[in-house]
Homo-oligomer: A and B are copies of this chain.
Amino acid sequence: MSGRLYGIGVGPGDPELMTLKAVRILADVPVVAYPAPDEGESSARAIAASFIAAGREEIPIRVPMRPGPEPAAIYDRAAAAIAHHLDAGRDVAVLCEGDPFFYGSFAYLHDRLASRFPCSVVPGVSSLTACAAAGGRPLVRRDQTLAILPATLSDPELKRRLAVFDAAAIVKVGRHLARLLPLLAHLGLTGRGTYVAHATRGDERVLPLAECEGIEAPYFSMILIGEERAP
């Protein structure tokens, strides 16, 4: 019998925001895989570190941290390494920052493995709700609509979508911040905006959008555009 592939959401950064289920599965599985930068520590592994038992087989999936298409060859190789364990009957847990299916690179492993092996996804606290909690304002209530928009979209693409939503989250802000600030000001949204970087981590930063001129935003930062009218 083949092993089971687990996509495990480890949450946004604070290890205490891991779920009981994630912790339980990590205590059981013999093999743990996770995305990692070219060099240095994996953020997903760092979040889960205290719950990975000694002596587990570990598979770091080294993905270059630059923009651009994900190199398919990296996921082909990682999927093969994981499939090797699954074929041998060993369960494999893939650690995913936030939630596995919300902008997670787990999608690329899922594409390659889920039709061949039993697979379970354990949802995690996503950066979306972690940033809202850090920002201290509800994302959406009642009949409000919410747009999730990557910052890589062009100005016209962002405008068109922001125009028809009550609230929005612009994700993966990073180097796009300097372009986004005047765009959001032009749309009259600055006053409704909150900038949140590295929510729930030690270096969490929360700022009203009006105070973000000149700051350097990391890749894992988000701009939340809240409901129009304070209730």
Residues of A within 8 A of B (CB): 7, 9, 11-12, 14-21, 23-24, 70, 99-108, 110-111, 114, 119, 121-126, 128-130, 132-133, 136-150, 152-153, 160-161, 164-165, 200, 231
A15 to B99 CA separation, bound complex (whole angstroms): 17
Q: Are B147 and A147 in contact (CB under 8 A)?
A: yes
Q: Are B145 and A147 in contact (CB under 8 A)?
A: yes
Identical copies of this chain, number: 2
A189 to B140 CA separation, bound complex (whole angstroms): 25
* Residues in chain B near residue A133, CB distance under 8 A: 7, 99-101, 121-123
* Residues in chain B near residue A7, CB distance under 8 A: 133
26 A–B contact pairs at CB < 8 A?
A: A7-B133, A9-B125, A19-B19, A19-B20, A70-B142, A101-B133, A101-B137, A102-B128, A103-B141, A106-B138, A107-B231, A108-B231, A111-B231, A114-B136, A119-B136, A121-B133, A121-B136, A123-B130, A143-B152, A143-B153, A144-B150, A145-B147, A145-B148, A145-B149, A146-B147, A147-B147
Q: Are B21 and A16 in contact (CB under 8 A)?
A: yes
Q: Are A103 and B140 in contact (CB under 8 A)?
A: yes
Q: Are B17 and A142 in contact (CB under 8 A)?
A: no
Nearest CB in chain B: distance from A3 CB, A: 18
* Residues in chain B near residue A200, CB distance under 8 A: 123
A105 to B231 CA separation, bound complex (whole angstroms): 13
* Residues in chain B near residue A11, CB distance under 8 A: 19
Q: Are A17 and B12 in contact (CB under 8 A)?
A: no
A78 to B15 CA separation, bound complex (whole angstroms): 32
Q: Are A139 and B101 in contact (CB under 8 A)?
A: yes
Complex: chain B residue closest to A21, CB-CB = B16
